[in-house]
Structure 1
């Protein structure tokens, strides 16, 4: 099963391409979609597609910039097909330089696209067969077999999209045969970063430890270098007590011999090899509890499943922190980050809730500062993903340090920009004045007079530096403050309106609903 990523900012085009492909009879394709280049980059990071069909001209990141990024940062490069409405020689020339497979013009001739995809999938099949034949032929003994074993076993946990008969035959060639139809996954995380030789030693020690209890298991590394234990046995053996015994044995042996701190996530039992990926996903969810638990702990998904289903987003005052970032107030930023985590702790937020907060906060910051023109390639190291995965952290303090670190880098980028922009200092003073006086009856004329500026000049300058006009910016400040008062105080809605600069409560209701999408009272009830 190959993964194909469709990237186009027009829904009609994406839907049309999906229909052509699905009806065209191309076998073994799982189709994924992205609506722009930035989302396409995220999907490539997440899914590692084999084939990418992309438009050229798109918001945020165009198709050629995306291909260049993949070329520079991804060791495994997908096969690229460009689809464009522009018959431009320069585009085609640059695409060829990046190794693009083909360049098709819109509207796409469906027969051409289907024939091209059949050719590419056949080529991918041939490449895999050649690679595996060479591996068996040239890599001798246990190491070569181990590489293939790991490759085939990883197919079982990636998704349900694989041909069961084909995979079972592949597993037989490396000596793996399942005697039972019931499966359970254990994910083993360890704190220390090891080289390849050490990882091999860890797995060997672990295999010996497990084999004292059962022979019906297979261990391997997933792409994130977590150790995966696949258990296959009778239903009675897959109950909590025997599985816990295996985890304790692993922890004891690794702790005694290598002083390795471990953590265990255990998925639910599943029936049939095609469902092992479900147990794996559950085990990954369970192992994330390492962020709040001590090494050596064993977390069963069945004990935290409800927590995952019921996790609710954290309503943080993110607009306030973005304001402090724009003003490069690092001390205030650190204080606000600490405040978020104090609120999360006070609410006894689950690990699933913490992850929701982390992902939502990162997205808010990214979207906000992308719109302001911040280049996030300057925030993160070359080749580094835009934001670490939540499951890579081993403690709440690690998360806080990481967030403060990248926010500090954003501050440095903004500070460098400000030093080259004297007009920005004027607008900073204006923004600070607006934040301090939003409750008063202020407008552009009043603010311009306060700073001794022509109101037309200040209006143009404000739009240039912030990307928003004066009244929209002021409205945003007022509504964000209103949201804070509605969620954290018992003031009547009319009193909240007065406190944020709206003497006419009916007008406040209209503006609030237009910006937030719900009425002030509905917002209070939901928060």
Structure 2
């Protein structure tokens, strides 16, 4: 329904306009019937009608003066219809100057009157549709702008972004960000409909997430409560809505976004918490953005390689507990999981390049975890599949005695080993053993042993403070100078220099 204000100093004419026209059927609602220009002006200011029907000759403020005064107001301008008993061209010409396109002489014929109202209704409807499309386009542009800002892609050198920021901040007293995590597909459409309020800007993000930028005229917590109650209908489901702190400018909204996203973190780790979180109430804890200790990941990958199912599950659990203890950010936890996947891929290719796990890797990458525990379970399943491939390959290789030799070397490389001793233990001719090992692994048995020893030495130099001489003895070298020669041969540097380099690298990663 479009609102109408009527203005005519003749009581009979005013009553006739109000009662003899079926306004409801025509799509209008009369919100004011005035017998003078001053009252009509007051009704227009208070009710903001889409249509004003006015006589010209009225005491005090006449119809033309009323139109002129309304045109000077900074409001949505109504359509004017002038009704007059004076067929005076000057009135019509003045009205045209005020952008009045509808002028009828009294008495008005019913057919002319209804035809004009139908035309006005079509015009108002067309204009409303145009405004809606323009509003939708503007909303999409704002959403894209804010998405860039939240992702850290904001540039103050971009004049378009700066202009939009200034427009958003005009006459607005601050902003707050509301973060939505765990959205289902149908939730997004609900969010769009709930964001039609001019004080809210909906921002669609990846990974079952979205956001609402709330300007200072609305309570961000009340907005969060509204969204949460609506999104839990018709059936409740696991999700988190968190509210960031107030910031002064839209350009600072990323600060509110980061704290709101961090505030939701405890909910995603499975800790008891409401689905509605205010970071200012709980006190958002700063998150760490560094990879966990490399020794934890190394032990996990070693368990994968050795097909130790219980150890894999146990070490994976310890790793995620450590990430939680370190207050690692969700993004960093995800990055750690991807790092483990890539290292597992590398391990499998080293075992057998013909093993194809591309599909399993792609499925893991595509999976969007709804929580940190979901990510842990997904990674555990992925490692389990990879171990099945390794187990299948090793079962095939176990039929060949050289595979047993390799397994023996991996378990005993820290002890004194000779080719003759191995040949006697496995009842294999030493010459045949040597040639077969080189053919399968590309290196001699002794080189293979040195590689294993130096690999462990490098790991211990990185993760421990043990003396270099002690490390050399523990990995199997009776003579220190022999260890130094083999280490420098494989790394290009002496052990002490290698340790210094790794310490510097770790320090950079922790910054």
TM-score of the superposition, structure 2-length normalised?
0.55
Residue aligning to 1:153: 143
Whether 2:199 is the aligned partner of 1:216: answer yes
Which one of the candidate residues 266, 282, 288 is aligned to 1:308?
288
Q: Hey, what's the Cα distance between the residues in 2 that align with 1:338 and 1:265?
A: 27
Whether 2:484 is the aligned partner of 1:495: answer no
- Per the TM alignment, residue 498 of structure 1 is displaced from its structure 2 partner at its CA by 1.7
Checking the alignment, whether the CA contact within 8 Å between 1:187 and 1:265 is kept in structure 2 is yes
Which one of the candidate residues 199, 202, 225 is aligned to 2:188?
199
Cα 1:143–1:424 shift into 2, 3 Å:
farther
Mean Cα deviation higher: 219-228 or 147-156? 147-156
Checking the alignment, whether the CA contact within 8 Å between 2:364 and 2:378 is kept in structure 1 is no
Which one of the candidate residues 255, 259, 263 is aligned to 2:236?
259
Cα 1:414–1:424 shift into 2, 3 Å:
farther
Residue aligning to 1:430: 405
Per-residue CA distance 1:383-408 (angstroms, 9 max, x = gap): x463756xx34133x23321121112
Mean Cα deviation higher: 446-455 or 296-305? 296-305
Residue aligning to 2:384: 408
Per-residue CA distance 1:350-403 (angstroms, 9 max, x = gap): 12364554343233223433455243423245xx463756xx34133x233211
- Per the TM alignment, residue 442 of structure 1 is displaced from its structure 2 partner at its CA by 2.1
Cα 1:437–1:178 shift into 2, 3 Å:
same
- Per the TM alignment, residue 432 of structure 1 is displaced from its structure 2 partner at its CA by 2.0
Q: Hey, what's the Cα distance between the residues in 1 that align with 2:447 and 2:248?
A: 56
Residue aligning to 1:351: 328
Residue aligning to 1:227: 210
Per-residue CA distance 1:225-274 (angstroms, 9 max, x = gap): 4221112338xx8xxxx645554554455447652443245556666555
Q: Secondary structure at the match of 1:454?
A: helix
Mean Cα deviation higher: 287-296 or 511-520? 511-520
Q: Hey, what's the Cα distance between the residues in 1 that align with 2:444 and 2:260?
A: 49
Q: Hey, what's the Cα distance between the residues in 2 that align with 1:331 and 1:243?
A: 47
Cα 1:160–1:488 shift into 2, 3 Å:
closer
Which one of the candidate residues 408, 417, 435 is aligned to 1:442?
417
Q: Hey, what's the Cα distance between the residues in 2 that align with 1:455 and 1:475?
A: 15
Checking the alignment, whether the CA contact within 8 Å between 1:270 and 1:279 is kept in structure 2 is yes
Q: Secondary structure at the match of 2:469?
A: helix
Per-residue CA distance 1:75-107 (angstroms, 9 max, x = gap): xxxxxxxxxxxxxxxxxxxxxxxxxxxxxxxxx
Whether 2:356 is the aligned partner of 1:375: answer yes
- Per the TM alignment, residue 436 of structure 1 is displaced from its structure 2 partner at its CA by 1.7
Cα 1:151–1:408 shift into 2, 3 Å:
farther
Residue aligning to 1:366: 345
Report the number of matched residues: 361
Q: Secondary structure at the match of 2:190?
A: helix
Checking the alignment, whether the CA contact within 8 Å between 2:398 and 2:404 is kept in structure 1 is no
Q: Hey, what's the Cα distance between the residues in 1 that align with 2:448 and 2:138?
A: 58
- Per the TM alignment, residue 276 of structure 1 is displaced from its structure 2 partner at its CA by 4.5
Q: Secondary structure at the match of 1:378?
A: helix
Runs of 5+ unmatched residues, structure 2: 1-125
Residue aligning to 2:181: 189
Which one of the candidate residues 354, 368, 372 is aligned to 1:395?
372
Per-residue CA distance 1:184-218 (angstroms, 9 max, x = gap): 4332113x6343xx43235545x59xx7xxx6322
Checking the alignment, whether the CA contact within 8 Å between 1:179 and 1:232 is kept in structure 2 is no
Q: Secondary structure at the match of 1:187?
A: strand
Whether 2:275 is the aligned partner of 1:296: answer yes
Cα 1:261–1:330 shift into 2, 3 Å:
closer
Q: Hey, what's the Cα distance between the residues in 2 that align with 1:380 and 1:253?
A: 37
Per-residue CA distance 1:490-511 (angstroms, 9 max, x = gap): 8655333322212234554666
Q: Secondary structure at the match of 2:414?
A: coil
Cα 1:507–1:225 shift into 2, 3 Å:
same
Runs of 5+ unmatched residues, structure 1: 1-135
Checking the alignment, whether the CA contact within 8 Å between 2:402 and 2:436 is kept in structure 1 is no
Per-residue CA distance 1:330-354 (angstroms, 9 max, x = gap): 4443343234345556xx2212364
